[in-house]
Structure 1
């Protein structure tokens, strides 16, 4: 059996001031990637990625374009050496980077979409009303039980099943804080607040998903050159008509 390369792209929480600068400085050919995004966004994404400030970079409406641009810049370095993925995936927001890598959407359209996605998500909840945290050392079922109990004080849900023993929860601040207390009582080794400004992958994002669906319908989608393992169901999709619905479903549901 011939093995190939799969590419997986990061999502929110992995951003940091200075990300991508070393590659940018070493490869002047990456400048157009940043320049094109800046022209779509209406601000200098290069400056935001390389110098911050962190408070701005960590706001979802800025985090999302910044991570997409950084991911696509790294992707560009694969092209001259002939690396072509046989499969792609992305963690939440990273699904848009994966779709660019597989030819499902143009880079320019993807930049515009994630800018709107971030804005809709930010507008779905009041500033400071949400909280996102990673729980370490509990089973997925225990985390779900904890969230169900904590839901008596507000919206909270298991948002990201990252690995056995690491589940991210998100929701209204008071409910997430209650879930953390309950998780610690169940033996949670550590609860880590994450630099994500909105409670993504919870029912609180349904309004944002509905708004985003209208924008997704205006973009040209193409069949993929490599299958995408999607977030919504963790299944492989390859056809253009499957993409829009998958991107809408992932926003209010766990991944």
Structure 2
């Protein structure tokens, strides 16, 4: 499998933990340089937040977006230095910004500036339009869409993430989520409230889109050096103007993760590498990829994890 096609995947919000990136920052000058740049651009003490928290402060979306993005970029930088050349990039929600930088669509500096602004705008909209999110497990997307339609009478609600065949995240006003949960149970599924500070990927935060478009208008977008499969379309795109539009819509659009992974399988990707904290995406791959599809999954967020993975590759 030496010539196997590789996809590099970047995790999003929810993969954070206190102490993330510690080993890279202690041993790798390039990692420290990236972190220094991220702190300067965001204006936040990201090293302290990532290492010592408190968790409530790290989890605030305004802090977490630059924090997670710089962690993803630190891991990707180490992988790229090791000479690994992926055939595709993809990122889950916020993780898509790691993919933009890795594919050369947006510079690392401008990527960090964008996620800092994205976090600020999303926090602003979440404060103005409070809501929450629930993971719905054991039900197919069609059933969840039906439940969402029924719950709409109680308030704004939508499908936020199509993560796997039987894991769908819904997002919206608490009153609508309260109506949806018993309907999920009735159909044999389970609704699990998520610890998030807003109704992400829903119309409740769509007010962030025009201001974010204005921020993106000042940033240079390039054609990708390596294809990226986008959350909004579950397809690649090479036109920088189209990518800019896709990324503006992404804030309030469904994350089509299941379709992205299916597309990677259709392209005969055999090696999947999750680059960044925790194994959320690796777990989803286990639910999506059939056992008879020959493949290998890796994840790393430390130099030791990277070394082990390179040995196995």
Q: What is the aligned partner in structure 2 of residue 254 from structure 1? A: 254
Q: What is the aligned partner in structure 1 of residue 284 from structure 2? A: none
Confirm whether residue 120 of structure 1 aligns to residue 121 of structure 2: yes
What 5-or-longer segments of structure 1 have no aligned partner? none
Contact 2:61–2:123 at 8 Å: present in 1 too? yes
Answer with 139-148 or 176-185: which moved more: 176-185
Q: What is the aligned partner in structure 2 of residue 38 from structure 1? A: 39
**Cα offsets for 1:80-125 (capped at 9, x unmatched):** 2211221111111111110100011111111111111111111113
Matches within 5 A, 1:1-255: 2-126=3-127, 129-188=130-189, 190-255=190-255
Q: CA deviation at 1:128?
A: 8.6
TM-score (norm 1): 0.94
Contact 1:13–1:194 at 8 Å: present in 2 too? no
Paired residues in the alignment total 254
CA–CA distance in structure 1, aligned partners of residues 250 and 31 of structure 2: 30
Greater RCO (Cα-Cα under 8 Å, separation 6 or more): 2
TM-score (norm 2): 0.78
Contact 1:116–1:212 at 8 Å: present in 2 too? yes
**Cα offsets for 1:19-50 (capped at 9, x unmatched):** 22233234343111110000011121111111
Runs of 4+ in 1 over 6 A off after TM superposition: none
CA–CA distance in structure 2, aligned partners of residues 231 and 128 of structure 1: 23
Distance 1:206 1:98, change over 3 A: same
CA–CA distance in structure 1, aligned partners of residues 185 and 128 of structure 2: 27
C-alpha RMSD of the superposition: 1.6
What 5-or-longer segments of structure 2 have no aligned partner? 256-313
Q: CA deviation at 1:234?
A: 0.4
CA–CA distance in structure 2, aligned partners of residues 177 and 12 of structure 1: 23
